[in-house]
A = this chain, B = another copy of it.
Amino acid sequence: MMSQREMKSLQERVDAITQTIKSGRLWDSIMEMAKYGATANGGVNRLALTETDNAVRIILMEWINRPNYHFFVDAIGNLFIRRDGATPSLDPVMTGSHLDTQPSGGKFDGIYGVLAGLEVFRTLDDLDMATVRPLELAVWANEEGCRFVPGCMGSACFAKPDDLPHWLAITDDESITVAQAVARFHKTLSGIPHRPLGTPVHAYVEAHIEQGPVLENTSATIGIVSGIQGCRDFQVTISGMEAHAGTTPASSRQDAMKTAVLLLRDLYTLMDSAGDECRFTVGAFQVYPNSSSVVPGQVVFNIDLRHPLQSSLTALGNKVIALCDKHTGRCSIRAKELRWRKPVEFSKVLPDLIQNAAHRLKLPKRVLPSGASHDAVNLHLCCPTGMIFVPCEGGISHNEKENAALADLHAGTQVLAEVLYRLAENIP
């Protein structure tokens, strides 16, 4: 084993780290984690702040429990694993992600980011390498937003500590509050010191599977995330009149289903012409009374519209509203805007570091916006932030079939290691 002192140049030290990353150890850790909440179909069901979710955090701490590490929890249920830096007073360089999953989630979403960070820490330990700045591995609470809605809770509350009471009052389906669930987490990890929300962070970088098909389709191994696209969510309610399917002529109908179809056809046509960066989804759709022999009196559906450019998102969302107005006639149409989150664009520092690392490692790379939301969107409010994407099989995520290639997971961890090390050594 080389000691830090034996390594002359920065490049030698970086190469030592990236070449020491153990992809088998990373893989084994991912597979071991996947046992907790494992489903019959090879997926994982590990909802936020459940016993299972708490259990894997303890396991993670056990895996890295060495004298140069310190653990902290905070008031919203985040866990931080701090690796000492040579200058402890400096703000830490942070990585991490989440260990909670969807109810029929996979082995990689979130987990990869945490365990890639763990693998970097283990590698630095293997090499007996210190860093100037401390390193921190964050396990954010309730990223998925399934048990407690909405998601990215832990990072959002970390970035805006004043929102804590709002978050603690949210309840799950069984009327358990976040406050109660976090108290249980604290009890499970009793003895772990508490730390205030929103402690300073020097920089944040998160590794994650892409959860989409862009990298796979373009044969890229590393996704340099430019930012996180914005979204406008609408709930559209079309109100007509229930009628007997056999007796009511078309000319007398106020058919909410027919109006929905004609409106949606125009919306799909509009969005098809808006370019490949536009994401338009009608995923939730309810018909009332939903009987085959009754002309529907009401249809309610949700629109999930996303775009990385604020101007495009604004214009397309406004056209959604305009088309709803245009199709109002026989039936009334109400478009209620549920959410308007502006796109986030990461400052260049982190994306450039990721790009350079991928270049040096000769990894096929591509700049792309993130379609999904991630904890990084909140850390962006605190410090320079970046994300490293790796491909997942068929772009499939939030699915028990979720899969990723070990070579890609390894490459992403190498990039993460280089970026973290350079930041922690103050040598961009």
Name the one of B248, B264, B399 contacting A371, with C-beta atoms under 8 angstroms. B248
| Partner among B229, B272, B296 whose Cβ is within 8 Å of the Cβ of A246 | B229
| Bound form: Cα–Cα A178–B135 in Å | 72
Q: Mark A372-398, 1 if CB is under 8 A from B, else 0.
A: 110000000000000000000001111
Q: Is A318 an interface residue (CB 8 A)?
A: no
- Residues of the B chain whose Cβ atoms lie less than 8 Å from the Cβ of A287: 283-285
| Leading 6 A-B pairs by shortest Cβ distance | A212-B247, A247-B371, A246-B371, A245-B281, A292-B302, A284-B292
Asked if residues A247 and B372 are in contact (CB atoms below 8 Å), the reply is yes
CB contacts (< 8 Å) of A277 on chain B: these are 249
**Which chain B residues lie closer than 8 Å to A289 at the CB level?**
283
Who on chain B is nearest to A210 by CB?
B247
Chain B: minimal CB distance from A366 (Å): 13
Q: How many residues of A contact B (CB 8 A)?
A: 62
Q: Tell whether A282 is near chain B: CB-to-CB under 8 Å.
A: yes
Q: Give bound CA distance, A203 to B396, whole Å.
A: 65
Q: Does A233 contact B (CB under 8 A)?
A: yes
* Interface pair B249/A279, CB less than 8 Å apart: yes
A211 at the binding interface (Cβ < 8 Å): yes
**Beta-carbon contacts under 8 Å, A288-328 to B:** 289-296, 302, 304, 306
A142: min CB distance to chain B, Å: 16
Q: With A287-B283, A293-B304, A294-B398 in contact, do A370 and B231 touch (Cβ < 8 Å)? A: no
**Residues of chain B contacted by A281 (CB below 8 angstroms):** 245, 255, 292-295
What is the chain B residue whose CB lies nearest that of A245? Answer: B281
Enumerate chain B residues within 8 angstroms of A244, measured Cβ to Cβ.
211-212, 371-372, 395, 397-398
Question: Can you list 11 A-B contacts with CB-CB less than 8 angstroms, sorted by A residue number?
Answer: A211-B246, A213-B248, A231-B246, A233-B292, A242-B399, A244-B398, A246-B306, A246-B371, A258-B282, A285-B296, A292-B302
Query: Does A335 count as interface, using CB distance less than 8 angstroms?
Result: no
Q: Which B residues are CB-close (under 8 A) to A293?
A: 281, 283, 304
- A214 on the interface (CB 8 Å rule)? yes
Q: Are A291 and B284 in contact (CB under 8 A)?
A: yes
Expressed in whole angstroms, the minimum distance between the Cβ of A396 and any Cβ of chain B is: 7
User: Cβ of B250 and Cβ of A276 under 8 Å apart?
Assistant: yes
Q: Give the most central of A217, A246, A268, A302: most B CB within 10 Å.
A: A246
State whether A268 touches B258 (Cβ < 8 A): yes
Chain A 265-283 interface 0/1 with B at a Cβ cutoff of 8 Å (1 = within): 1001001100011111111
A40 within 8 A of B: no
CA distance A264 to B294 in the complex (A): 17
Knowing A290-B284, A295-B281 are in contact, say whether A372-B246 is a contact too (CB < 8 A): yes
Residues of the B chain whose Cβ atoms lie less than 8 Å from the Cβ of A245: 279, 281, 283, 304, 306, 371
Q: How far is the CA of A255 from the CA of B279 in the complex (A)?
A: 12
Least CB distance from A399 to B in Å reads: 6
**Across-interface contacts of A286 in B (CB, < 8 A):** 290
Task: Using A233-B292, A264-B261, A294-B398 as known contacts, say yes or no to A212 and B283 having CB atoms under 8 A apart.
Answer: no
Contacts of A294 in B (CB 8 A): 281, 283, 398
Q: How far is the CA of A397 from the CA of B258 in the complex (A)?
A: 20
Q: Which of B247, B395, B397, B399 contacts A397 (CB 8 A)?
A: B247
A175 an interface residue at 8 Å Cβ cutoff? no
Q: Is the CB of B282 within 8 A of A257?
A: yes
B217 touches A252 (CB 8 A): yes
Given contacts A244-B398, A245-B283, A246-B371, 17 further A-B contacts (CB under 8 A): A211-B244, A214-B247, A217-B252, A244-B395, A246-B304, A246-B370, A247-B370, A247-B371, A261-B261, A261-B264, A262-B265, A281-B293, A281-B295, A283-B287, A283-B289, A284-B290, A284-B292
